[in-house]
Structure 1
């Protein structure tokens, strides 16, 4: 009986092995393919990250080289020639706009800034910054009421540059001769916990210059 049981066990084991081999032959390619996909996907992701790093480094080097040009016009031209997409392009355009203003070409700067501010595909952080810069560049040629109206969307609580927009709004009220409105805006600004020390200092100086009370702020 023992020999018979052993024989039966061996046959059963052989049958199981045979079934296993059949499964491997029939479905083993799926496991191999899955492994290849995982390994290939990981390799592709690493390659893509390396490419993105290399492109970012090359763009950074190009920006540094552009900013070393002798004149603002040359710097603006060099910055405009650097390739970039999306938010990177927005940053490059704002850098070029700054150089254009320095070189006495505010019109060219405004064109760049407006294009960023009106592009819904750009991050709001860059859109709002471009819009604020454009308003500040145009400020000497705008009446205070127009400045205030254009700044209003940027002063919404939670907007990236709401506090800077409030400061510009207060200055526009001063230009319009509305001291009371300016003091109200500056008081609100001073009470905002997110206001930086530099911003608080400028606001407090303006409040004093306008005859307001810091204790009331």
Structure 2
């Protein structure tokens, strides 16, 4: 390389450095701010994750502590003092509380809690459906057949496991209405449903036999 070429290369490199320093002087603060935003955002995200984890653990510990009682009424009272943040946690807490209230014999209090969960539009749909199902069971003596039927039909098409239980209740309503053949058909669908539990299939099978129907797929029905 000649001295001229070397000189030109040095000048070119110097010009590049000058341009870079000028660019950094003019726009460097944007880069710095962007880095600070990224680092700060990541730190805040980690902080939020840690905070949510701590809240979840505290919520779980409070529930376990509340359930660590021998008396269901005491468990229900302890659950009522647990603080829950978010509709999902509040709904779960309500379902647990209603269970203990039912076991303690406080049916009216359980109905109120279940109604509250069922009516909460911000609660996860599965919690609302479970609350509605349990509420319908408690209101069996308060509602006429048509209202109970409409209530269980509203639960169809949601959670598969809950839908099967609703189908069982609808079959029982058909029996109460004297619609024997329709009830047998509904019970047969339950027996043939692969998602039905062994206990549910067994109950359906026993009802089909009691109604004079023919039990399908006996090999699929598990015994005790």
TM-score (norm 2): 0.88
TM-superposed deviation, 1:157: 6.4
Note the 1:128-139 alignment, pairs <5 A: 128-139=129-140
Note the 1:106-185 alignment, pairs <5 A: 106-156=107-157, 161-185=162-186
Note the 1:26-37 alignment, pairs <5 A: 26-37=26-37
Asked if the contact 1:128–1:160 (Cα under 8 Å) also holds between the matched residues in 2, the reply is no
Note the 1:1-217 alignment, pairs <5 A: 2-84=2-84, 85-156=86-157, 161-215=162-216
Q: Corresponding residue for 2:221? A: none
TM-superposed deviation, 1:7: 2.0
TM-superposed deviation, 1:216: 8.1
Alpha-carbon spacing, 1:216–1:198, altered in 2? closer, same or farther (3 Å):
closer
Q: What is the alpha-carbon root mean square deviation over aligned residues?
A: 2.1
SS in 1 for 2:155: helix
Asked if the contact 1:113–1:131 (Cα under 8 Å) also holds between the matched residues in 2, the reply is yes
SS in 2 for 1:204: helix
Instruction: Please list every run of 5 or more consecutive structure 2 residues that lacks an aligned counterpart in the other structure.
Output: 219-224
TM-superposed deviation, 1:29: 1.9
| Residue-pair matches, total | 217
Please give the alpha-carbon distance, in whole angstroms, between the structure 2 residues aligned to 1:97 and 1:110: 8
Instruction: Please list every run of 5 or more consecutive structure 1 residues that lacks an aligned counterpart in the other structure.
Output: none
Q: Which is further off, 162-171 or 182-191?
A: 182-191
Deviation per residue, 1:26-46 (Å, 9 max, x gap)? 112222222222222112111
TM-score (norm 1): 0.90
TM-superposed deviation, 1:144: 2.9
Q: Which is further off, 29-38 or 16-25?
A: 29-38
Please give the alpha-carbon distance, in whole angstroms, between the structure 2 residues aligned to 1:158 and 1:101: 23
